[in-house]
Amino acid sequence: MVTAPGVRESLFLRACRRESVERTPVWFMRQAGRYMAEYRALRQNYTLLQLCRTPDLATEVTLQPVRRIDVDAAILFSDLLIPLEPMGIPFDFIKGEGPAIERPIRSAADIDAVKVVDPRDALGYTFAAIRQIKGELGGRIPLIGFAGAPFTLASYAIEGGHSNNFALTKSLMYGDPAAWHRFADKLATVVGDYLVAQIDAGADVVQVFDSWVGALNENDYREFALPHTRKIFETIGGRAPTIHFGVASGSILHVMREAGGDVLGADWRIPLDDAWGRIGYDRGIQGNLDPTLLLGPRDRLLSAAADVLARAANRPGHIFNLGHGILPMTPVENVQAVARYVREHSAR
């Protein structure tokens, strides 16, 4: 699918290409979700996985924030773990606990049983949703597709759910590097193909979430994560602009850059100007307001947004966002207020 000319010249895509813009584009990670009453209402009737796997529902949820908040991009409603199931790693979401992998990956034999599938066969509902969302957006704003990077996906598959220290993941990585690399390569193959298929279905930009990669130091990132994440960006091969995001990744941003990404995401632990200096001004940056500030008070929230804009200093290539996703208890009005603030205070 060819990106409509209007979308190509949108603020968001121009910022991804580090072209000059009239004002800074803004969107929010997890802009769809439980902080919105209309999302909670749908969740009364459907599970999270039903929302992800039913194109009509995924389309509706993707558009909910677009109707309420002045965002410059929509993001596909899906979840990071979606590709694991066809690879033979089924999971569910448990209320109040998050993801739960049915049979966590713990051994070389488990890894050898993981299937490298063609996402075009296995995940057709995602591409159907993308086509439907693109139709509904009618070229007004671009659509972001996404997937997880190998380290973050592997950590869920190995830990079985959320982890604070990634002990099982690192034990496998250090204890059997060859098996780790086979697993990460399988994930990179599927994720690379999945993102290309999302672009073919109409995604204008894709974001690679390596949310938990901040658990690695630079040497371990280079050895265990970088080659696999790089393979994903090489597979995408410039078909669409790319965003590469991690949490608590300030100390490895300069190496994540080597793996790929036209735009690198930064969280709030590092000032935006420091982060951009580490990344280099030949790449864009996305971020980096602390999502907790959205809980209030309003004056502190807006002065923090002003600080992010000041540190970006109107350089081409800044996309305003949070340092991580919107929290469930966030008042919608505060999200609306930040979007409005960025629109009004970033005019060039």
Residues involved in catalysis: 30, 34, 43, 79, 156
For ligand CP3, the closer of residues 58 and 236 by Cβ is 58
Are 167 and 215 in contact, with CB atoms under 8 Å apart? Answer: no
**Near ligand CP3 by CB under 6 A: residue from 29, 105, 117, 225:** 29
Among 93-101, 128-136, 216-224, 312-320, the segment contacting ligand CP3 (CB under 6 A) = 93-101
C-alpha distances in Å from residue 217, one per residue of 4, 180, 307: 41, 17, 28
Q: Which two tokens stand for residue 251?
A: 């100390």
**Near ligand CP3 by CB under 6 A: residue from 57, 70, 85, 93:** 93
Among 14-22, 71-79, 131-139, 310-318, the segment contacting ligand CP3 (CB under 6 A) = 71-79
Q: Which long-range contacts (CB under 8 A, 24 or more apart) does 266-273 make?
A: 266/323, 267/214, 267/323, 267/324, 268/322, 268/323, 268/324, 269/323, 271/311, 272/308, 272/311, 272/312, 272/318, 273/311, 273/312, 273/313
Q: How far apart are CA 95 and CA 177, in angstroms?
A: 34
Residue number of the CB atom closest to ligand CP3: 211
Among 29-37, 250-258, 260-268, 299-307, the segment contacting ligand CP3 (CB under 6 A) = 29-37
Q: How far apart are CA 235 and CA 127, in angstroms?
A: 18
For ligand CP3, the closer of residues 4 and 327 by Cβ is 327
Residue 98 sits in the site that holds ligand CP3 (CB under 6 A): yes
Q: How far apart are CA 146 and CA 150, in angstroms?
A: 13
Query: Which residues within the stretch 264-293 sit at the binding site for ligand CP3 (CB under 6 A)?
Result: none
**Near ligand CP3 by CB under 6 A: residue from 4, 49, 80, 304:** 80
**Near ligand CP3 by CB under 6 A: residue from 15, 325, 330, 341:** 325
Q: How far apart are CA 185 and CA 229, in angstroms?
A: 9
Q: With contacts defined by CB under 6 A, how many residues of the chain interact with ligand CP3?
A: 21
Interface residue list for ligand CP3 (CB under 6 A): 29-34, 43, 48, 75, 77, 79-81, 93, 98-99, 146, 162, 209, 211, 325
